[in-house]
Structure 1
Amino acid sequence: MKGRTIVLDHIEDREAAALMVDGKLDDFLIAADAPTPGTIYRARADRPVKGQGGMFLTTPDGPAFLRQVKGLAPGALLLVQVSGYAEQGKAIPVSNRILFKSRYAIVTPEAPGLNISRSIRDDDTRDQLLEIAHEQMGDSPYGLILRSCCAGADADDIAEDISAMLAQADQVMNDDGTETEVLSEGDGPHILAWRDWTGPAEVVPQAGGFESHGVLDALDMARGTSEPLPGGGHLYVEPTRALVAVDVNTGSDTSLAAGTKANFACAKLLPRALRVRGLAGQITLDLAPMPKKDRRGFESALRAAFKSDPDETILAGWTPLGHFELQRKRSRLPLAEILK
């Protein structure tokens, strides 16, 4: 099956969304019991963490942790936004840089100014978007970012999106409550699919879509550890308590270039394998043997593969033992924890 298909369905009464590209599962979102990234709290400062420049906060959903905070006294109220999922037993990670994000627009209360995605290069399109932005924002002190999918989008849809995000920002930022409270819930999988999977795609909203479009079969593979590589090799992805271990196996290929080919195939496949499984944190690649002269090319291939990935990933580099390490933001929970 060629092309992109977005399937909206439920699994075990949990809202879920799948992005199928050429018949393969490219991304998967499912509702979890933990606070959703994007949720905005009115929180209360609890106690500082000496030596880390952070502060533990009290929220309606439990303790949260805010990094790099200065001048915040215990007992003070502040607005924070959930920035990712917490590791088991740890506080909810939050940020005090509040964003109101939708399909076309991002309103930034703490960063004034009108900005358009750099990927939109056509001058006429940029001028048109600036005109829409000025008209909708008026004299608002908030900032605005127009996303790349605004190119070619209907002007009325963009204007409506800006207006909705601006109204939400005004409501939250001007709230004058005096107790800890959830001021805005983060988006669920179906809204996230509409918001972030912006490329042309067939949308299947009917119940039973996961079964009829092969999503359930793809999830069965994703809940395992093995991913096939071109040429007969395999990629083994195994999360441990400390890190995610990725092992590259050349399989039946015994040629001199087998290791190099398998490693470059791993670089191309790895973002999808991690994304679908919801894996993040410290990631260590145990690569197949290849000449050191090919390392730079492998790094370039890996960097290119992660460039279009929505989750922030840092390429940490090589270890003395020849492993390659990554650090990935925890923007979703592991699939194996949700679908047990």
Structure 2
Amino acid sequence: MKGRTIILDHIRGREAAALLVDGHLDDFLIAADAPAPGTIYRARADRPVKGQGGMFLTTPDGPAFLRQVKGLAPGAQLLVQVTGYAEPGKAIPVTAKLLFKSRYAIVTPGAPGLNVSRSIRDEDERDRLQEIAHDEMSESAFGLILRSACAGVDAEEIAEDIAQMANLAAQVLQDGEGAPERLIDGDGPHAQAWRDWTDPAEIVTKPGGFAEQGVLDLLDDALSTRAPLAGGGFLFIEPTRALVAVDVNTGSDTSLAAGQKANFACAKALPRALRIRGLGGQIVLDLAPMAKKDRRGFESALRAALRADSEETTLAGWTPLGHFELQRKRGRLPVSEVLK
């Protein structure tokens, strides 16, 4: 099955969305019980954390933690937005820099300026989008980013999207006084799929779409601890309480370049493997043996593969034992935990 297919359905009563590319599961989203990233609270400052430059906050969904706090006194009210999922027993991670994100536009109340996605390189198209941005935001103090999905889209459709996000931002910012309250829920899987999976695709929305399109079988394969690599190697991906361990194996390949080939295949496959499983935090790669001179090439290949990934990932570097470490944003909960 060639091409892209987006299937919107439910699993065990939870809203879910799957993206298939040429018949392979490329991304998967599922609703969790915890507040979704993008949720906005009116919160109350509780107590500072000395030495960490942070502040615990009170929200309707439990304690939250705000980093890099300056001039915020206990008892103060403020608006914050959920940035990811917390580890078990920890506070919800939040930021005071609010973003109002849709398919075409991101309105940034705390960061003025009108910008167009760098991935849109055609100068005429950039000029057209800048004109739309100026027409819609000329009287607003908010900033605006026009996303890559705007390319070639009708001006009226983009303008409507901008206006909706700007109006929503204005309404929320006027609601900063009062007891702790959830003001906006983060996008669910169906809304997030519409917002972020913008490349042309067939859309399947009828109930039972997962079973009909084979998503359930693909998901079972994807959630296995073993993931195949091009060339016959494979990965073992095993989450622990402290970190996610990834072991690279060469399989049946016994050539001198087997380790290098398996590691480069890992670099290409790893973002998808982590994305589908919903894994984040500390990632430690136990790579197959390869010469130190190939390390830079591996890093470049991994960085290129992560460029198109939906979750922010930092390459931490090599350990004395030759492991490679990543720090990945917890933008999702592990699918295996959600579907327990």
TM-score (norm 1): 0.98
Q: Distance in 1 between matches of 2:299 and 2:123?
A: 35
Indicate the RMSD between aligned Cα atoms, in angstroms: 0.9
Question: Residue 129 in 1 paired to residue 129 in 2?
Answer: yes
Q: Assess if the C-alpha contact under 8 Å between 2:15 and 2:31 holds in 1.
A: yes
Where does residue 28 of structure 1 map in the other structure? 28
Where does residue 305 of structure 2 map in the other structure? 305
Q: Secondary structure at the match of 2:227?
A: strand
In structure 1, the gaps of 5 or more residues are none
Q: Distance in 1 between matches of 2:177 and 2:88?
A: 31
Question: Residue 245 in 1 paired to residue 245 in 2?
Answer: yes
Q: Offset of 1:231 from its aligned partner?
A: 2.3
Cα deviation digits, residues 77-134 of structure 1 (max 9, x gap): 0000000000000000000000000000000000111111112222221222122112
Count residues with an aligned counterpart: 340
Q: Which residues of 2 match residues 1-340 of structure 1 at below 5 A?
A: 1-340=1-340
1:11 alignment partner AA:
I
Deviates more, 1:110-119 or 1:89-98: 110-119
Q: Distance in 1 between matches of 2:62 and 2:138?
A: 38
2:123 alignment partner AA:
D
Q: Assess if the C-alpha contact under 8 Å between 2:77 and 2:176 holds in 1.
A: no
Q: Offset of 1:222 from its aligned partner?
A: 2.3
Q: Secondary structure at the match of 2:337?
A: helix
In structure 2, the gaps of 5 or more residues are none
Cα deviation digits, residues 160-205 of structure 1 (max 9, x gap): 1001101100110111531111111111100100100111111111
TM-score (norm 2): 0.98
Q: Offset of 1:211 from its aligned partner?
A: 1.1
Cα deviation digits, residues 288-330 of structure 1 (max 9, x gap): 1111111111111111110110100011111111111100000
1:12 alignment partner AA:
R
Deviates more, 1:165-174 or 1:213-222: 213-222
User: After the TM superposition, which segments of 4 or more aligned residues of structure 1 sit over 3 Å from their partners?
Assistant: none
Q: Offset of 1:234 from its aligned partner?
A: 1.1
